[in-house]
Amino acid sequence: MAIDLDTGLLRNFLVCTRLGSISRAAHALGRTQPALSQQLRRLEDIVGEALLQRAATGVSLTAAGAALLPYAERILALSGEALAGVPRAKLSGRCSVGILEDFTGTSLPAAFADFGRLHPDTTLELVALLGSETRTALDSGRIQLALCDAEFLERPPRWSVRVPLLWAAAENFDATIDPLPLVMFSEPCRWRSLAFSALSVAGRCWRIAFESGSLTAIHAAVRAGLGVTTLLPTAMAQGVVSAPVSQSLPALTDIEIGLARRPESEGDVLTNAVEGMLKQLA
């Protein structure tokens, strides 16, 4: 007999992978840590493989977990769209969404492609924006929705989640090098100051070894061993791993990722459906 994947279990799995910690995820979901751990193990029992590697510093994906992740994201995206309760024939028009480049490597683009195939009369546009560009894009009508660092929003976000900002480096990179070489996004980038402040408080000396406005270039520089950088969990890439917090690398401040909407789009049926999908994916 076929076994169905419970969307609730998949959502728990996604939150854990995004936050990198079962305790963080339990807090975000409003559940106890033992209850969440039990549900994660239930999903692992259904799949027949361990999905998360558990350690004192948090959780990371196993090979089976990495394989399941894009399917889980797309299942939840389609579930959110279905729950919007809008007949396909009524979905038409254009909706532009601004996102951090950190989300372009997730299954979000594929979920938007699925949405477009289900609703051929719609035109969806994803725009990778710097956090500082988001407010202007919303005010001008360039985008109707934004998924970004909430610090750049003029008003409180409609929905938000706190995500850890992580140190990232090439495997076996020596983080005790003094001064610590940094691979940083070019200005304007709020996360630079968060990294500089944490290092200063920890008494670490640092230097900029490489900077760029491109996530692809940041990944390449880190893989080459030029230095450490700061990334969201969604922005990790092959050859770029999360570097554990230690005496060499101090803890970083969490980032509030918020969902914002252009006020003039309120009541728009298509924007409502896309907003529901984003809440499932973020």
Residue 139 has pLDDT above 80, yes or no: yes
Q: 103 and 235: one domain?
A: no
User: CA Rg, the chain, in Å?
Assistant: 20
Token pair 């789009």: residue:
265
Judging by beta carbons within 10 Å of its beta carbon (0-12, 13-18, 19+), is residue 267 exposed, middle or buried? exposed
Compute the distance between CA of residue 183 and CA of residue 257 in angstroms, rounded to an integer. Answer: 22
Burial 138-173 (b: 16+ CB within 10 A, else e): beeebbbbbbbbbebbeeebeebbebbbbbbbbeeb
Comparing 20 with 51, the larger pLDDT belongs to 51
Average pLDDT over residues 192-213: 94
Residue 278 has pLDDT above 80, yes or no: yes
Q: Give the length of the chain.
A: 282
CATH number of the domain within which 52 lies: 1.10.10.10
Is there a domain that residue 274 lies in?
Answer: yes
Q: 222 and 95: one domain?
A: no
Comparing 122 with 131, the larger pLDDT belongs to 122
Is there a domain that residue 213 lies in?
Answer: yes
Q: 176 and 244: one domain?
A: yes
Single residue among 59, 79, 99 that ends a domain in this structure: 79
Is there a domain that residue 2 lies in?
Answer: no
Write the DSSP string, 81-94: HHHT---GGG--EE
Residue 1 has a pLDDT of: 47
Is there a domain that residue 84 lies in?
Answer: no
Comparing 58 with 13, the larger pLDDT belongs to 13
Residue 84 has pLDDT above 60, yes or no: no
Residue 83 has a pLDDT of: 59
The continuous run of DSSP H or E covering 7 comes out as: helix 7-19
Domain containing residue 74? 7-79
| C-beta atoms surrounding 255 within 10 Å | 24
Residue 222 has pLDDT above 80, yes or no: yes
**Number of structural domains in the chain:** 3
Comparing 114 with 270, the larger pLDDT belongs to 270
| C-beta atoms surrounding 41 within 10 Å | 13
Residue 85 has pLDDT above 60, yes or no: no
Q: 114 and 177: one domain?
A: no
Q: 175 and 242: one domain?
A: yes
| C-beta atoms surrounding 21 within 10 Å | 19
Is there a domain that residue 85 lies in?
Answer: no
